[in-house]
Structure formats: C-alpha cells, structure tokens
Amino acid sequence: MTTPAASPVPIYVISLARATERREQVAREFAALGLDYEIFDGVDGAAEEAELLGQTDLAAWHRNMGAPISAGHMGCYASHVRLWQKIASEGPEIALICEDDVTFSADFPEALAAALSVADHWEVVRFSVVRAKGAVPQGKVGRFTLNAYWGPFTGNACYLIKRATAARLAAGFYPIRRAHDHELNRFFAYDFRLMGLEPFTAPARDRGESFITGTKMAQAEKFPKYRRLPYYAQKAANYIRRLVWLGRHGMLRPSRRDLTRG
C-alpha cells in the first residue's frame, strides 16, 4: 500500500461511529490509492428516529417509494444533507463524497482527474451506480464518457458535488419524501446537471450487510402491488420530466466530442 497523500479535492466518507469494520475496510481502499480523506460521522437513524420522522412526509414516501420507511433510510438521507451543509459553510468549491461501503478500481484516480478537468459540464457527477438507464453521452474525457440519463440513475456510494449546488440542495431537500439517491435523481426539480462518468470506477460492495435494509436485504419491504400504483405512476412521469429537462438544456443529442477542448 502507498502512503496516503493530499487528494485533488477534499474527500469525505460518511460512516456511522459504530461501523468499525466498514471504517477499516474503507481505510484500506484509500490507502491502496494513496489518497487522504476525512470521516464524516453519519446520522444514526435509530438514535434520531423521532427527530427524523418530524422531517419526513410519510404519505409522500409511501406514495413515491411503494414501501415502508426505515430508520436507516432516514439516517442515510440526513447524513448526506448534513454533509452538504458542512461543505456549503466551510467552502471547498468541489468535494468528493463517499459512503463507507465504497470500493475502487485501480483507475479511480484517473477517473477523478478526468471529471475535475471538465467541471464546467456538471454540478454532480457519480462514479458509482445502483442503476443507470437511458445514458446520453455528453462527450469524452480521455477514455471515459460523461453521460446524462433520461432513465433512473441511482447510487450514492461516490460522487463529486460543487459547493454552490450542495448549498442549494441542502436548503430544499426536506421533508424526506423518497430515498436520497432517488431524490437526487430529480435533477429536473432542482435544476442541476447530474452526470455519470463511465465506466464507473467506484462500486459499492457491502457483502450483504446494510445499515438501511439489514443483512441480505432482510429488512427490505415493499407494499402489495395494488398499493404500489402511485409509485409506478410517478416513476413513469419522471421519465417524461427528465426527458423534457434534458431537451430544454440541449442534452438529448448524444455527443462524442472531446470535452477537454471546450
């Protein structure tokens, strides 16, 4: 392993204080890359459940997610928002946010440098993904492609965010109405460019352990299909909303141009 060194931007890793094994694993990941980082203590949803419920629109959650909410969902959501608030107040113009189940491919530093070199083309850019449908290439950055997405694009294990965007999102992200990465996918509502840099170089791997859904998804629940009809309806509507927003911003035509040339 190499000796950790200063990274090109501040790096924050969201982790619960009790997640000792995850913290050890993420330390090994960053040491292997030779990048320094700072732990940001995440919000323990179980410990702050009453307060978080007061910041949640449960009816909207049930309608938008088609499933019950958990303390873990609320804690994850609040963790990202509180970190955005920190970034907004302390002033790094761009920061990298990771969750503590992130892992890196050997070319992640190259991908990070590539994204930073074209920072005028995005407000948030993800290096990790749960699902990414409907990719629309916006251009090439070396061997990477910067994509917009008209389909669902979720996963918050590793992403860059600009300070001004963090401030604006933090101010309007409550109440909790859907999972954090789903809410972030509503870029059309918050008017910012959400991108992905492919191939993705920072997959999340939790070996079936999750503080949100339990071991091997044991705590993951869904309502019966008849109660999920509002979820399907808003999901379909969001396809249209993403397409309209991307069209208005001239981002629906695929491009392979070299973004580093302006």
- Cβ distance 96 to 11 under 8 Å? yes
| Confidence at residue 4, expressed as pLDDT on a 0 to 100 scale | 53
Full-model pTM: 0.92
SS3 state at 224 = coil
CB 86 within 8 A of CB 169: no
Is 251 in contact with 138 (CB distance < 8 Å)?
yes
Pairing of β 135-141 and β 131-132: unpaired
CB of 156 closer than 8 Å to CB of 102: no
Provide the pLDDT for residue 1.
42
* Cα(162)–Cα(17) distance, integer angstroms: 26
What number of CA atoms fall less than 13 Å from residue 234's CA on the CB side? 16
CATH number of this structure's domain 11-208+221-261, picked from the four choices 3.30.200, 3.90.550, 3.40.50, 3.10.590:
3.90.550
* Distance separating alpha carbons of residues 179 and 185, to the nearest angstrom: 10
Helix (H) or strand (E) holding 124: strand 124-126
Q: pLDDT by residue for the chain (262 residues), tens digit each?
A: 444 556 899 999 999 999 999 999 999 999 999 999 999 999 999 999 999 999 999 999 999 999 999 999 999 999 999 999 999 999 899 999 999 999 999 999 999 999 999 999 999 999 999 999 999 999 999 999 999 999 999 999 999 999 999 999 999 999 999 999 999 999 999 999 999 999 999 988 755 444 543 444 345 578 888 788 999 999 999 999 999 999 999 999 999 999 998 6
Question: Residue 155 in contact with residue 181, Cβ under 8 Å?
Answer: yes
DSSP code, position 120? G
**Which pLDDT score is estimated for 224?**
87
Q: Where are the domains of the chain?
A: 11-208+221-261
